[in-house]
């Protein structure tokens, strides 16, 4: 295996960027509506881009012949992403109605668990099992969307 071609490393960086935006949102959520709204817009934009990248550039490439543990991860990931996108949409509605966002802490816990699942299970497994040329192809797509 070529360790220099590494999807995990790239995506961990993007997870850190999203974590920082989430921290910023938490701070601004304790302040005023307008600061919270601006922080939410940034957070939502980066998280939606991240999920798009995962679903359209990364996970679509994983297509094993046999039903392995890895293969079963994909429906679980999609389920988690749907939960996350749904929460973002609800917060977007709150903001349109000039309300502060609610249930911040439980969402933070959910997102942290999702991130750990990807970093500990999903990405190591992809890096391990995908052929090098496929990984290079994926990394080129990631770089089109995710800022360095």
Helix (H) / strand (E) containing 40? helix 33-52
- By CB under 5 A, the count of residues binding Fe ion is 2
Measure CA 70 to chain center. 18
Could you tell me which stretch among 39-47, 63-71, 94-102, 118-126 binds Fe ion (CB under 5 A)? 118-126
- Taking CA atoms, 29 is separated from 40, 98, 111, in Å, by 9, 13, 17
- Taking CA atoms, 34 is separated from 4, 78, 113, 141, in Å, by 43, 32, 29, 34
The interface with Fe ion within residues 64-103 (CB under 5 A) comprises none
Cβ within 8 Å of residue 104, ≥6 positions away: 25, 26, 29
Could you tell me which stretch among 2-10, 39-47, 49-57, 139-147 binds Fe ion (CB under 5 A)? 49-57
Q: How far is the CB of 45 from Fe ion (least distance, A)?
A: 15
46 belongs to the binding site for Fe ion (CB under 5 A): no
Direct distance between the N- and C-terminal alpha carbons of the chain, in angstroms, rounded to an integer: 25
Q: How far is the CB of 51 from Fe ion (least distance, A)?
A: 6
Q: How far is the CB of 89 from Fe ion (least distance, A)?
A: 16
Could you tell me which stretch among 47-55, 86-94, 95-103, 140-148 binds Fe ion (CB under 5 A)? 47-55
- Residue from the set 21, 28, 118, 122 that interacts with Fe ion by CB under 5 A: 118
Residues within the interface to Fe ion (CB under 5 A): 54, 118
């Amino acid at each position: 295996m070529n360790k220099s071609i590494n999807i995990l490393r790239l995506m961990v960086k993007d997870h850190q960027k999203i974590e920082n935006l989430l921290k910023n949102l938490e701070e601004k959520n304790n302040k005023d509506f307008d600061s919270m709204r601006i922080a939410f817009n940034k957070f939502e934009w980066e998280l939606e881009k991240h999920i798009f990248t995962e679903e359209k550039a990364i996970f679509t490439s994983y297509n094993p012949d046999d039903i392995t543990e890895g293969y079963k991860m994909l429906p679980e990931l999609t389920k988690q992403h749907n939960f996350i996108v749904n929460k973002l949409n609800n917060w977007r509605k709150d903001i349109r109605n000039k309300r502060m966002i609610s249930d911040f802490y439980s969402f933070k816990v959910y997102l942290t668990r999702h991130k750990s699942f990807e970093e500990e299970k999903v990405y190591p497994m992809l890096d391990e099992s995908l052929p090098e040329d496929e990984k290079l192809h994926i990394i080129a797509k990631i770089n089109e969307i995710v800022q360095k």
